[in-house]
Structure 1
């Protein structure tokens, strides 16, 4: 079977644009040419005046609202994840609940490892938080975006400052069940 049309059939051509269609095409071309001439004339005027000047229309040099400027800076620098985690640290009581927030405080976020470090005020609360860690990581990722927090590192309470001196017995750490 050949793909050529039979000798009697003449292939149909697309209809030639007529009156109204030709006018639309001509009008569109004229508008584009006018825009190009206007833009070129505007640039020429600005070059004569010594550069760009502010006008009635918004352009890239106009002042921004503080929130918009901060959002643009965060996006340009790639700080979305650290900023989101910082927001979580500020909203910690709403995310984990008031009871848990009274005893556990977020300390730092390691962006490379995606680890959030939380310190608790007692070993009992640290154990409780370790048990709740999978649910808490899921809730944080729901709020921040999938994969932002991979691991929750739970620290117990910090011990008292080490004091060295003649009245101190060497190796004495204090009550071990409270500080570690």
Structure 2
């Protein structure tokens, strides 16, 4: 029966196999001790440190850092349109820039609208006639599809002037009396 008991336990393990198993166990214990020591050393030093190779924590030149931030946050188009606001006279010409000023850029998913305020109805009409050429020029400068429509606003109404004889609570000449 002793032979049957040995067969039930499985094949006999030779000395070479026992040595391999002992070596694998010793390696695993050494790895665990090494990892624990590395963690203790890193916690004493204050965390991760930069090595010889470049990584995401290395300092960057200011221009590169701003470009990276602009890309990560998705600010390319708003910054490009902001550049148009600053170079308005250069893009549309000095005469038009004296009388028409960009006010706002709305970036809706399907409509990208640049709103422009003009100081007279004559210049507003002129800008409405030039709008298709201006959209083409802006898209050539900023990238295709950046501006799809130019909304032209005429001159605003004058601000209400309140004299010394004013009824308290009245809205002035715009009062509807009822």
1:104 to 2:100 alignment: yes
Question: What secondary structure is seen at the aligned counterpart in 1 of 2:130?
Answer: helix
Q: CA–CA distance in 2 between the matches of 1:124 and 1:139?
A: 22
Number of matched pairs:
130
Partner of 1:5: none
Q: Mapping of 1:38-57 within 5 angstroms? A: 47=39, 49-50=41-42, 51-57=47-53
Return the match for 1:141 from 134, 139, 142.
139
Shift of 1:68: 1.6
Q: CA RMSD, aligned part only?
A: 2.7
With the length of structure 2 as denominator, give the TM-score of the two structures. Answer: 0.63
Max Rg structure: 2
- Preserved CA contact (<8 Å) 2:116 2:152: yes
Alpha-carbon distance between aligned partners in 2 of 1:137 and 1:53, rounded to the nearest angstrom: 51
SS at match of 1:63: coil
Contact 1:116 1:153 in 2 (8 A): yes
Instruction: Quote the Cα distance in structure 2 between the aligned partners of 1:75 and 1:52.
Output: 26
CA 46–79 in structure 1, closer or farther in 2 if over 3 Å, else same: farther
User: TM-score w.r.t. structure 1 length?
Assistant: 0.63
Per-residue CA deviation, residues 49-91 of structure 1 (Å, 9 max, x unaligned), is 4142234543211122222222111211112211111111111
Distance 1:59-1:102 versus aligned 2 partners, 3 A rule: same
Answering whether residue 67 of structure 2 is matched by residue 71 of structure 1, we say yes
Between Structure 1 and Structure 2, which shows a larger proportion of helix residues?
Answer: 2
Task: Tell me which moved more, 144-153 or 71-80.
Answer: 71-80
Secondary structure at the counterpart of residue 155 of structure 2: coil
Give runs of aligned pairs for residues 1-180 of structure 1, distance below 5 A.
47=39, 49-50=41-42, 51-112=47-108, 113-163=111-161, 165-166=166-167, 170-171=173-174
Cα distance per residue 1:1-26 (max 9 Å; x no partner): xxxxxxxxxxxxxxxxxxxxxxxxxx
Gaps of 5+ in 2: 1-34
